[in-house]
Amino acid sequence: MRRKPSLSSLGESEMELLQLIWETGPATVAEIHERALTTRKVAYTTIMSQLRKLADKGYLEFEQEGNAYVYRPARNPQEVRFSVLSSILEKVFQGSAVEMVESLVKHEPLSAQDYAEIRRIIDEMEHRDDKGGTAS
């Protein structure tokens, strides 16, 4: 089994493949290729090389079963999302979470339900802070 290196950036196609594996679980290159074909035309060898790159970057693990390689997530979705957002936060917003959230809230169409959910999350974090807990 490979050591988990620090996460590096993901391309759009790589993120799509990672999402497929998170949704469906461990799969061979052929199975992943078949699933990918439902959304776009892509060569088997392209899928194979992208999966290998994802493994090299630490997002996937694989093992050989017979003649096939079976790929599985090496990182959970929350960890990857946090890593991607942290990178964007540093590169685009110079570490300012306020500017990042402000940009999203002001420029992304949010429903009343979305705003209510955001308020609920903030209230929950403030309530935890008031009780001596930590907001994470």
Tens digits of per-residue pLDDT, 55-84? 999 999 999 999 999 999 999 999 998 988
| Residue 122, pLDDT above cutoff 60 | yes
Residues 27-47, mean pLDDT to the nearest whole number: 95
Q: CA angle 3-33-51, nearest 5°?
A: 20
Task: Give yes or no: residues 70 and 109 share one domain.
Answer: no
- What is the average pLDDT value for the chain, to the nearest integer? 88
Domain that holds residue 70: 12-77
Does residue 84 lie within any of the structural domains? no
| Residue 1, pLDDT above cutoff 50 | no
Residues 40-69, mean pLDDT to the nearest whole number: 95
Does residue 87 lie within any of the structural domains? no
Report the C-alpha gap between 80 and 88 in whole angstroms.
12
Does residue 70 lie within any of the structural domains? yes
Count how many domains the chain has: 2
Confirm if 13 and 29 have CB atoms less than 8 A apart.
Answer: no
Report the C-alpha gap between 63 and 61 in whole angstroms.
7
Task: Give yes or no: residues 36 and 73 share one domain.
Answer: yes
pTM > 0.75 = no
| Residue 98, pLDDT above cutoff 70 | yes
Task: Give yes or no: residues 64 and 103 share one domain.
Answer: no
